[in-house]
Structures are given as C-alpha cells and as structure tokens.
Structure 1
Amino acid sequence: MSSCQGKNTWPELVGEKGQKAAEIIEKENPNVKAIVILDGTPVTLDFRCDRVRVFVDCKDIVVRAPIIG
C-alpha cells in the first residue's frame, strides 16, 4: 500500500470515541500524529506518512477506518 513505517490502518476503531481512537493509534504507531476531525470537513489531499485522520460524527464516534495519509 505505502512505504510508511509501522501499522497503517485501524478498522477495529470504527465505533470508538475519537480521542480514545487517536490515543490508540499513536501508541500502536509512534511515527504518526492522529488528528480527530468531524466527518465531512474539507481536508487537503496531500499524502503524509506522519498523519492519521480520525473522522468522527457529531457524537465523537469514529465513522470510518483511520488510515495513514
């Protein structure tokens, strides 16, 4: 998929609270910074190995699998 270091996807976190998911992601892959963001918010399309966007709904629940990018 990519040449990024460490774990790169977290499908098991769908349904989890956003901040808790971000903490798990950063613990499992210390090379990334997890950013909690409301689903539907416009984001840049650049790919970065040090970023994981955690998309949440209005109740702070992860709505899609976080991935590096």
Structure 2
Amino acid sequence: METRCLGKNTWPEVLGMDGDEAAKKIEIENENVDAIVVPVGYVVIMDFRCTGVWVWVDKHGIVTRVPKLG
C-alpha cells in the first residue's frame, strides 16, 4: 500500500539554519505537519507519519540534516 502525504515533504533549503526558524518555515510551507526540533543523538520514534518532521540540530541549534516527512 502506497502512502501519499499532502504538501511539501522535504526542506533542503533549511540546512544550516537555526532550528527554531527552520521549524517555523516548515510548518508555514506545509500546514499539515508539526516540525519538532531534536538535538543530534537523541532517540526518536522511527514510525513513518505524514504529520511529523524531525528537525535535527547540533549543540548550537543549527540544522544538520535535511528535514523530511516521516
């Protein structure tokens, strides 16, 4: 069964941005998702959801991975 999520699903343009600002941008560009800022190394649930985006940040709060749905 194929899952199709609504709206934009990846945000390479926020790589290197402040995590909180990136999360705001993501939620504006896809109102169907909640962007959650997470420090690199934290353990998160790995199930796929169309409503969540992990925004991985370093110790300075800078986005280190391209955020995407899931």
- Scaled to the shorter chain, the TM-score interval is over 0.9
User: What are structure 2's unaligned runs of at least 5 residues?
Assistant: none
* 1:1-69 superposed matches below 5 A: 2-69=3-70
Q: Which runs of 4+ in 1 moved over 2 A?
A: none
- The alignment-based identity, stated in percent, is 53
Query: Which piece of structure 1 moves more, 37-46 or 54-63?
Result: 37-46
Q: Secondary structure at the match of 2:67?
A: coil
User: What are structure 1's unaligned runs of at least 5 residues?
Assistant: none
- TM-score, structure 2 length as denominator? 0.94
Q: Radius of gyration: which is bigger? A: 2
Tell me the distance in 2 between the aligned counterparts of 1:54 and 1:7: 15
Aligned length: 69
The CA deviation at 1:40 is 1.2
